[in-house]
Structure 1
Amino acid sequence: MEIGVPKETKDQEFRVGLSPASVRVLQENGHSIYVQTQAGSGAGFTDDDYRSAGAEIVPTVEAVWNRELVVKVKEPLKSEYHFLQKGQILFTYLHLAADRQLTEHLIDSGICAIAYETVEQPGANRLPLLTPMSIIAGRLAVQFGARYLERQQGGRGVLLGGVPGVKPGKVVILGGGVVGTEAARIAVGMGAAVQILDVNVERLSYLETLFGSRVELLYSSSAHIEAAVKEADLLVGAVLVLGRKAPILVSHELVKQMHPGSVIVDVAVDQGGCVETLHPTSHTNPTYIQEGVVHYGVPNMPGAVPWTATQALNNSTLPYVVQLANQGLKALEVNLPLAKGLNVQNHRLVHPAVQEVFPDLVN
């Protein structure tokens, strides 16, 4: 099969769909891989690295997209919509619940679109292709949050770990899944006072085995959210509802009651966000201040650490890419987790959760 790997076009997105190591595996399986020149440079991979792995370097984005299978990291942007082709397979993050326009274009094109974030293994929402980026995003959320709490960045000048004689900063995390757990891990390591709120009591019990008394674990009721958010120095949105838009848990009115200079990092922004005042930003312009609170809403946070993130993503995606390349769409018949990743096929929206978001697009 011919496989195309385009250079990402999202603002400062330096990850790449396939690493040279992954290209080598696919080449050894008899496939032809076409990589857009400089596609991996931001992640530390040169064109020569790809050539050595067996890829052909092509100078134009058109030459990459004109392939049977296209492997990306982020969703196609408007400038890429015209590349979408009937009969083609697209394998990437899509997050369609927050992007009606992209959903409509995928349906119109006739492409077969498989989303990393909805590939689901048996069990309680085991998302093997979302997990590695969720780990990175969770860790970065606190790293970035600590930075924007600095006075020079617009924050209130709080050191999360505090110092002897001065209490530490307070980190409030909405959601105790992978993102929330990893955010807590970093915040605890910094010495912050940490609260996690979640609606799943079993998950809270599990988190107790991880953190013990170092993290305060609360059921995510509106009263608990209101009390916690008001006192937060750093608020991390870590809510995930598979395939759907994130629920709004923090209202505009509640944001107004936060300390001036406190920081919100909403990792759920690529699914619409869980904070009413937060909208998507970019790595170039990552923050804005509203109601005196610093808002950070970059939807591709792992793009800040592309060397790590590309390899972590490829470790999880490669087996699925190999199966798609070897078997084409027949892979969906024999690999149920991969089949659950299917969002759009044959001009139809097929993922149940996304169908619920856009019922008028279901035919």
Structure 2
Amino acid sequence: MQIGIPKEIKPGENRVALTPAGVSELVARGHQLRVMSGAGAAAGFSDAQYQTAGAQIVGTLEEVYAGATLIVKVKEPQPEEYPLLRSTHILFTYLHLAASRPLTDALLASGASCLAYETLSDAQGRLPLLAPMSEIAGRVAVQAGAHHLEMAQGGKGLLLGGIPGVAPAKVLILGGGVVGANAAAMAVGLGAEVRIMDKSIARLRQLDDLWRGRVVCEYATQTRIDECALSADLVIGSVLNAGASAPRLLTRAQIARMEPGSVLVDVAIDQGGCFETSRPTTHQQPTYVEAGVIHYCVANIPSAVGRTATLGLTNATLSYILRLADGGIAALKGDPGFTAALNCHGGELTQPAVAASFSMPYRDPQSIL
């Protein structure tokens, strides 16, 4: 199969969809790859490395799309890429369609088969292609929060772990999934006072067994979220509804009651955000202040560590890319978890959570395949 690897053009995006080692695996299976010049440069991979792996280097996005059946990316297509998509394309990338009706409409209009990393599941119901980026996002969220608590960044002037004789900062993590668990691990490592809230008793029990009292694990009622947010120095929103819009956990009025210089990190911003005051930011301008509270709402947090993120992403996606390259869209048949990745096909919406978000018609992907 002809496979295209574009250079990511979303602002601040430093990842690339495949490492040279990943390209080599596909070439060894007889597939042909076109990699856009400079696609891996930000992540530390040169055009020469891709050529050595067997890829053809091309100069433009148009050449990548025109010469490929399978397009493998990191982030959703940008408006400049919409006209390049055709009905013969299979697109495999992070999509987060529930956060963007224009993107959804563009993909439907193209007729392409569009598969989202974030809705693909395994036999245990986990999200294996979201997991490595969630691990990174959770860890970076704490680093970013700690940095923006510094006075030079407009924060309260708190050291996350405190010092002997001075209490540590209070970190509230909303959501105990992969992001939340990794945020907790990083915050504990830095010595913060950590509270994690979730609606799953089973998950809270797992986290409590892991931390043995070092992290307060509490059931998330709205009343308790509101109360704990008022005393928190750093709040990390990490709630995920796979494929759907993120739930709103803090209102504008509640955020206005928080102490000035507190920090909100909204890891769910690529699904619309879980704070009412959240709006997407970039790594170039990562924060803004509203109601005296610093908001960090970068929509591609893992790009801050583009090389680590690229290596982790390729490790997770490569086996699925190989299956698509070998079998085309038919590779989804008989695998409900892989089929769950299909969000659009032939101009029809095939992801129920996205359809519900926009009140749009939904087509069962199994009936299409």
| Residue 305 of structure 1: aligned partner | 305
Alignment of 1:76 with 2:62, yes or no, is no
The SS at the match of 2:203 is helix
Question: Offset of 1:353 from its aligned partner?
Answer: 1.4
| Residue 130 of structure 2: aligned partner | 130
Question: Offset of 1:336 from its aligned partner?
Answer: 2.7
Measured against aligned partners, the alpha-carbon deviations of 1:249-304 in whole angstroms (never above 9, x if no partner) come to 10111101111001000000000111001110011110000000000000100001
| Residue 3 of structure 2: aligned partner | 3
| Residue 167 of structure 1: aligned partner | 167
| Residue 177 of structure 1: aligned partner | 177
Distance (Å, rounded) in 1 between the aligned partners of 2:349 and 2:360: 10
The SS at the match of 2:213 is helix
Question: Offset of 1:227 from its aligned partner?
Answer: 1.1
Q: CA contact under 8 A between 2:36 and 2:59: conserved in structure 1?
A: yes
Q: Report how many residues are paired.
A: 362
Q: Which amino acid aligns with 2:317?
A: T
Q: Which amino acid aligns with 1:119?
A: L
| Residue 17 of structure 2: aligned partner | 17
Q: CA contact under 8 A between 2:352 and 2:362: conserved in structure 1?
A: no
The SS at the match of 1:317 is helix
Q: CA contact under 8 A between 2:351 and 2:362: conserved in structure 1?
A: no
Q: CA contact under 8 A between 2:262 and 2:293: conserved in structure 1?
A: yes
Distance (Å, rounded) in 1 between the aligned partners of 2:337 and 2:72: 18
Distance (Å, rounded) in 2 between the aligned partners of 1:334 and 1:322: 16
Q: Which sections of structure 2, spanning at least 5 residues, go unmatched?
A: 364-369
| Residue 152 of structure 1: aligned partner | 152
The SS at the match of 1:217 is strand
Q: Which amino acid aligns with 1:308?
A: T
Alignment of 1:356 with 2:339, yes or no, is no
1:281-296 matches, within 5 Å, as: 281-296=281-296
Alignment of 1:330 with 2:340, yes or no, is no
Q: Which amino acid aligns with 2:239?
A: V
Q: CA contact under 8 A between 2:3 and 2:31: conserved in structure 1?
A: yes
Question: Offset of 1:91 from its aligned partner?
Answer: 0.2
| Residue 247 of structure 2: aligned partner | 247
1:338-353 matches, within 5 Å, as: 338-353=338-353
Measured against aligned partners, the alpha-carbon deviations of 1:69-102 in whole angstroms (never above 9, x if no partner) come to 0000000111111111112100000000111110
Alignment of 1:85 with 2:62, yes or no, is no
| Residue 217 of structure 1: aligned partner | 217
Q: Which sections of structure 1, spanning at least 5 residues, go unmatched?
A: none
| Residue 197 of structure 1: aligned partner | 197
Distance (Å, rounded) in 1 between the aligned partners of 2:207 and 2:71: 38
Measured against aligned partners, the alpha-carbon deviations of 1:161-180 in whole angstroms (never above 9, x if no partner) come to 00011100000000000000
1:46-125 matches, within 5 Å, as: 46-66=46-66, 67-123=68-124, 125=125
| Residue 366 of structure 2: aligned partner | none
The SS at the match of 2:14 is coil
Distance (Å, rounded) in 1 between the aligned partners of 2:310 and 2:86: 26
Measured against aligned partners, the alpha-carbon deviations of 1:101-155 in whole angstroms (never above 9, x if no partner) come to 10001001100000000001133x4000000000000000000000011100111
Distance (Å, rounded) in 2 between the aligned partners of 1:62 and 1:47: 18
Question: Offset of 1:35 from its aligned partner?
Answer: 0.2
Q: Which amino acid aligns with 1:167?
A: A
Q: CA contact under 8 A between 2:34 and 2:57: conserved in structure 1?
A: yes
The SS at the match of 2:45 is coil
* TM norm structure 2: 0.97
Question: Offset of 1:62 from its aligned partner?
Answer: 0.5
Distance (Å, rounded) in 1 between the aligned partners of 2:36 and 2:273: 32
Q: Which amino acid aligns with 1:72?
A: K
Question: Offset of 1:361 from its aligned partner?
Answer: 4.7
Distance (Å, rounded) in 2 between the aligned partners of 1:25 and 1:334: 24
| Residue 234 of structure 1: aligned partner | 234
Question: Offset of 1:330 from its aligned partner?
Answer: 1.1
Distance (Å, rounded) in 1 between the aligned partners of 2:16 and 2:361: 31
After TM superposition, which residue ranges in structure 1, 4 or more long, deviate above 6 angstroms? Answer: none
Measured against aligned partners, the alpha-carbon deviations of 1:301-353 in whole angstroms (never above 9, x if no partner) come to 00010110001000010000000000011101143321110000010001111
Distance (Å, rounded) in 1 between the aligned partners of 2:126 and 2:294: 32
| Residue 273 of structure 1: aligned partner | 273
Alignment of 1:188 with 2:162, yes or no, is no
Q: Which amino acid aligns with 2:173?
A: I
| Residue 367 of structure 2: aligned partner | none
Distance (Å, rounded) in 2 between the aligned partners of 1:217 and 1:138: 17
